């Protein structure tokens, strides 16, 4: 190998070649005949003697460090137990094979994988659960079978969930740190983490669900070189093929944002929900799917944009909302939804919105999203929508007026004086608007207090103008005295 070929990939391949050539002293033809003879003995009803003979053959192959021969013997032992449907015997032999002294890692891995393939064939529920727990015991603490252990844990969690034990299933699954598994395929790793998040959400453990969701970055849904099956990972380990029925990255991306939406909706964080729906919308466009896919998502984007506060909160800044609003309004596909285009324009125009007119205009759309699980199925969303209209009107009034009577402002906002004062006070606390209310005089003043630096600069400017006027007045007096030849008395 030349210096230029000294890469992690070549090192891994050289190690594989050494492993394949390691041992190799067992005559495979003779071993195959001996295994066949033991299987014939088992067919005659002497299965225990046949397994004992196969264990002796396994010992000879193991001591010779022949990987292929050892795996063949282990496979034959498990086949005999499987053919006889002796699941208890299968567990005992799996434990026996994997616990034998100086057992080869490849043989343990092959034994575990073969036993896992029998799980679906076990009809008795208790026997299936016992087999899974036995395999979990065998794989505990062994890095070379960590992927198999993760799959077994996922299978066990699925069984618990099917029994209605969601809390127990979530506790079982969240103990597996798959993000540290270098040989696991990226799609399977993401699918596993998303399953952890889903179970935590079903368990109502929203804090842990949010922590687990941070293990997946949106950039993970971009396919990169070195992440496919058969490639060499960062640790120099070959990445294994994902488990069957593992979804692809596009489907996992949709599932990821759907779970985030469940979390942020529960937190009433409308801005983050908007971001998630926006990502789903862009995913549908990237896949070149029809309007039946992206149009409902775009409607959700519009509604949650409207529900997001127009000012900065702990959940997000006003600049983020403005950016999303501008991007949505500039989307050409929004022209296919004239009602929603008008909805966004209503909240971007500096005009007072009459709630009665607004409610009558968009009542059919609100009713369409009032079914269980939809946007307005929770009465709080309807209250928040009305609150956003009031806040928009308050901010609009603050733009046009610097000083106004409270009774007049209450009339403009279609609120009682008490309601008007409450909403204005809330906006002042949120630092969305600067206002002072003089209750005895019945006057409200919209004026932001000046910073100390601005106040000092204003004073300095006033003094400079005053001195300039004094200087000009002195010059004019002296000019008049010279014209009229009047002597000015000195001080």
Tokens of 8: 């992690």
**Mean pLDDT (the chain, rounded):** 88
Helix (H) or strand (E) holding 162: helix 146-162
* Report for 82-86, 456-460, 487-491: range of highest mean pLDDT: 82-86
Closest CA to 398 of 422, 426, 427, 419: 427
How far is 343 from 352, CA to CA, in rounded Å? 14
In three-state secondary structure terms, 313 is strand
DSSP readout, 265-305? HHTT-HHHHHHHHHHHHHHHHHTT--HHHHHHHHHHHHHHH
pLDDT average, residue stretch 291-300: 93
The larger pLDDT score, comparing residue 242 to residue 5, is at 242
Query: How far is Cα 66 from Cα 104, in angstroms, rounded to an integer?
Result: 9
Give the residue-averaged pLDDT of 251-262: 95
Spatial distance between the Cα atoms of 400 and 386, rounded to a whole number of angstroms: 22
The whole-angstrom separation of Cα 162 and Cα 457 is 71
Rounded to the nearest 5 degrees, what angle is found at the Cα of 443, between the Cα atoms of 440 and 449?
110
Question: How large a percentage of the chain has pLDDT more than 90?
Answer: 64
290-445 matches 19-140 in CATH topology:
yes
238 φ, ψ (degrees, to nearest 5): -70, 130
For 307-334, what is the mean pLDDT? 91
* pLDDT at residue 316, as a whole number: 85
Report how far residue 208's alpha carbon sits from residue 196's, in angstroms, rounded to the nearest whole number.
9
Q: Is the pLDDT of residue 318 over 70?
A: yes
pLDDT value at residue 23:
47
What pLDDT, on the 0 to 100 scale, is given for residue 6? 34
What pLDDT digit, counting tens, does each position of 63-117 carry? 998 999 999 999 999 999 999 999 999 999 999 999 998 899 999 999 999 999 9
In this prediction, residue 405 carries a pLDDT of: 92
Residue 233 has pLDDT above 80, yes or no: no
pLDDT reading at 414 higher than 80: yes
The bridge status of strand 436-438 relative to strand 443-445 is antiparallel
Q: Please state, in angstroms and rounded to a whole number, the distance separating the CA atoms of residues 460 and 463.
A: 5
Residue 261 pLDDT > 70? yes
- In 10 A of CB 155, how many CB atoms? 17
Give the model's confidence band at 229: pLDDT under 50 very low, under 70 low, under 90 confident, else very high: low
Does the pLDDT at position 462 exceed 50?
yes
Whether pLDDT at 225 is above 90: no
Percent of the chain with pLDDT over 70: 92
Q: Where does the pLDDT of residue 459 fall: very low under 50, low under 70, confident under 90, or very high at 90 and above? A: confident
What pLDDT, in 10s, does the model give residues 122-166?
888 999 999 999 999 999 988 889 999 999 999 999 999 999 999
Cα–Cα dist 477/432, whole Å: 52
pLDDT of 15 over the 80 cut: no
**Class of domain 290-445 as given by CATH:** mainly alpha
Q: Residue 11: pLDDT above 80? A: no
In the CATH hierarchy, which fold is given to the domain comprising 19-140?
1.25.40
| pLDDT band, very low/low/confident/very high, at 236 (cuts 50, 70, 90) | low
∠ CA 312-315-318, rounded to 5°: 25
Dihedral sign, CA of 204, 210, 213, 219?
positive
pLDDT at 478: 86
pTM summary value: 0.82
Mean pLDDT for 179-195 is 91
The domains of the chain are located at 19-140, 290-445, 453-491
């Amino acid at each position: 190998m030349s210096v230029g070929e000294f890469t992690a990939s070549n090192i891994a391949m050289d190690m594989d070649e050494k492993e394949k050539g390691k041992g190799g002293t067992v005559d495979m033809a003779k071993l195959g005949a001996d295994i066949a003879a033991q299987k014939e003995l088992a067919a005659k009803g002497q299965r225990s003697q046949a397994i004992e003979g196969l264990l002796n053959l396994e010992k000879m192959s193991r001591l010779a460090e022949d990987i292929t021969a050892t795996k063949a013997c282990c496979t034959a032992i498990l086949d005999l137990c499987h053919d006889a449907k002796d699941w208890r015997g299968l567990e005992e032999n799996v434990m026996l094979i994997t616990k034998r002294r100086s057992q080869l890692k490849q043989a343990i891995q092959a034994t575990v994988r073969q036993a896992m393939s029998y799980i679906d064939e076990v009809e008795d529920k208790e026997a299936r659960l016992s087999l899974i727990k036995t395999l979990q015991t065998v794989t505990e603490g062994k890095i070379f079978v960590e992927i198999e252990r993760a799959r077994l844990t996922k299978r066990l969690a699925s069984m618990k969930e099917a029994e209605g034990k969601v809390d127990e299933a979530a506790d079982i699954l969240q103990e597996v740190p798959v993000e540290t598994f270098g040989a696991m395929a990226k799609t399977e790793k993401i699918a596993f983490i998303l399953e952890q998040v889903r179970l935590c959400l079903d368990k109502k453990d929203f804090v842990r669900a949010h922590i687990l969701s941070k293990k997946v970055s949106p950039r993970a849904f971009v396919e990169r070189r070195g992440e496919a099956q058969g490639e060499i990972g960062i640790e120099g380990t070959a990445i294994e093929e994902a488990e069957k029925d593992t979804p692809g990255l596009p489907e996992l991306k949709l599932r990821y944002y759907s779970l985030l939406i469940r979390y942020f909706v529960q937190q009433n964080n409308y801005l983050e929900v908007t971001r998630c729906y926006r990502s789903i919308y862009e995913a549908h466009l990237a896949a070149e799917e029809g309007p039946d896919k992206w149009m409902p998502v775009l409607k959700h984007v519009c509604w949650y944009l409207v529900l997001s506060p127009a000012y900065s909160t702990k959940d997000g800044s006003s600049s983020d909302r403005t950016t999303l609003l501008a991007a949505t309004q500039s989307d050409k596909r929004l022209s296919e939804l004239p009602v929603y285009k008008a909805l966004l324009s209503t909240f971007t125009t500096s005009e007072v919105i009459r709630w009665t007119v607004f409610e009558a205009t968009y009542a059919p759309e609100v009713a369409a999203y009032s079914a269980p699980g939809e946007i307005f199925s929770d009465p709080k969303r309807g209250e928040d929508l009305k609150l956003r209209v009031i806040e928009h009107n308050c901010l609009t009034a603050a733009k046009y007026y610097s000083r106004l009577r409270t009774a007049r402002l209450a009339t403009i906002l279609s609120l009682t004086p008490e309601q008007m004062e409450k909403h204005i006070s809330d906006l002042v606390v949120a630092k969305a608007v600067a206002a002072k209310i003089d209750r005895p005089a019945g006057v409200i003043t919209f004026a932001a207090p000046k910073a100390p630096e601005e106040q000092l600069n204003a004073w300095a400017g006033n003094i400079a103008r005053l001195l300039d006027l004094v200087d000009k007045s002195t010059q004019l007096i002296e000019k008049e005295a010279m014209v009229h030849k009047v002597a000015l008395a000195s001080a």
